[in-house]
Structure 1
Amino acid sequence: MDTDGRITFDLPLRSAEGRQLLLRLRPKKGLPEKTVHVLDLEPADDGRRRAVLGPHPVLAEGRWDVYLLREPGSRRQRLRPGLRDLRALVDGHLHDWPSPLAVRIPYVTRDGHLAVRAWLRPAHAEVDCIDVTDRSMTVGARLHGATLLEGAVVCLRLRGGNGTLRVAEPRAGRDGRSFSFTVDHEELAAGTSAESGVWDVFMQPAEGAPLVRVARLLDDVADRKEVFVYPTVTLDGAGVRPYYTVDNDLSVTVTKAG
């Protein structure tokens, strides 16, 4: 991986007879395949074959499975990953990203194959830290592709709650992009009428502006949900816990006793 999003695929000698790589956007369950991207394999100096996925075209958001094509139009063969050099991604959160934000992370699937996780968003709020106490949680984040203006608010939207919102006041940093906010556990528990609920976290950078999802995307971790695990706080019989979704977006789950 390069810092500009370029991915270089090197295939060893035993796979050198392949002619192309095919990246397939994994369709949702029950839907047909719609989007593929084909890369030509070219000879490299060390006898390998090499394919380069440049920063353009921008990949649509989703998971892209990687295949080898021995001949154009031939049967696809899934690839297994060798060494993945992702050092260029580690400090991605320290850089300014333009709009739209386009992120790619090569990763290993659960069944051991190579894939690329891509995000494509008009703007993004990158989580820096989450501090959980017995009464509240405080989140620090930074906007990319947008700037904090008058009327900015943080919105927590109850999933499936017919538009139920809780609003938090952001504390803006001097750069006009960094901010932090605090969420009261008791307030979220009181707003969850069912036995359990999930609150998705958004930033609205100006009054009337589109909501920007708060997430953590700008490093080398493709699937964060099982890696960054925060404690559950129990308050008046309700368990409250921040977590990252399968898309690395920040949400808060509330589970009531009984």
Structure 2
Amino acid sequence: MSTVRTHCSVAADGTITFRLRPPADAPLRLLLVLRPKKGTPEETTHTLGLEARGDDGEFHAVLEPRPPLAEGRWDAYLLRGTDTGRERLRPGLRDLRELVDGGTRERTSPVAVRVPYATKDGFLAIRTWLRTAHAEAGPLDVDGRTMTVRARLHGAGLSEGAELAVRPRGGEGAERTFPARPASDGAFRATVALAELAAGAAGTRFWDVFVRPGGGAPLIRIGRLLDDVADRKGVFVYPRVTVDGSAIRPYFTVDNDLAVEVTAPR
């Protein structure tokens, strides 16, 4: 069982500095492993050198912002030498202050995000996103008939013909589109008529929310990635509203993307 606590701090440019006091001397390395899908082997890793700092037994490793890490969850391990295997690291203090207002800073393409966090079983991991472009969700207003989405584009720009696209998950049915109007600082807003999502509903249906920044442009996922929250689904909870007999609830997915759940009466 690992007892090595690893402190980390994140800079505004995405650099992460790890600090730990391992019970052994060099050679030491810090290993990041991209968590594979269930039933598949590990394939992607990233190794960092650990260097002693001062005479207090503390070692540092630095994860630079480039190259960006692939999107997913990266588990952190300590490597002792070449033949002693690896040991998962426990989280220590995590200084994420630079991430809190990350959505206010302009991001260029590709949009790369890293958030250190503690896993449910108490180990250190890094949640990462890597997208060509991203729309950072802001305040979300839901009333009896409509849902107003505000978001800011990163890595792309809004142009004529921009629209919000709400797509049924699984490809069952047609997408619904609503005009996206520019606001300030690269932001936009769009109002969704919830009755259009409730129409013809049977059982429970899920809709994913995108923006098409201009006529014919590729869709960009709307989500909330640019702050210090690695897992938003259970933290940002919106109330259900009833529209034409269906219960409708916006929510963030396990990937922190915006979606809508529609449940029709049986």
TM-score, length of structure 1 as denominator length: 0.95
Q: Which residue of structure 2 lines up, in the alignment, with residue 87 of structure 1?
A: 97
Is residue 16–residue 48 contact of structure 1 (8 Å, CA) maintained in 2?
Answer: no
Is there any run of 5+ residues in structure 2 with no aligned partner, and where?
1-9
State the shift of 1:208 in Å. 1.1
State the shift of 1:237 in Å. 2.1
Q: Which residue of structure 2 lines up, in the alignment, with residue 248 of structure 1?
A: 256
Would you say how many aligned residue pairs link Structure 1 and Structure 2? 256
1:197 aligns with 2:227: no
SS at match of 1:51: strand
Is the strand fraction higher in 1 or 2? 2
Amino acid at match of 2:21: P
Alpha-carbon distance in 1 for matches of 2:25, 2:190: 52
State the shift of 1:186 in Å. 1.3
Matches within 5 A, 1:5-84: 5-12=14-21, 14=23, 19-45=28-54, 46-84=56-94
Amino acid at match of 2:242: T
1:145 to 141, 155, 158: 155
SS at match of 1:84: strand
State the shift of 1:47 in Å. 2.7
User: Pairwise CA RMSD of aligned residues?
Assistant: 1.4
State percent identity of aligned pairs: 58
State the shift of 1:76 in Å. 1.2
SS at match of 1:186: helix
1:186 to 195, 201, 217: 195
TM-score, length of structure 2 as denominator length: 0.92
Alpha-carbon distance in 1 for matches of 2:69, 2:244: 45
Alpha-carbon distance in 1 for matches of 2:42, 2:22: 31
Amino acid at match of 2:199: A
State the shift of 1:206 in Å. 1.1
State the shift of 1:152 in Å. 1.0
Amino acid at match of 1:245: T
SS at match of 1:82: strand
Alpha-carbon distance in 1 for matches of 2:206, 2:24: 46
Matches within 5 A, 1:163-242: 164-175=174-185, 177-192=186-201, 194-242=202-250
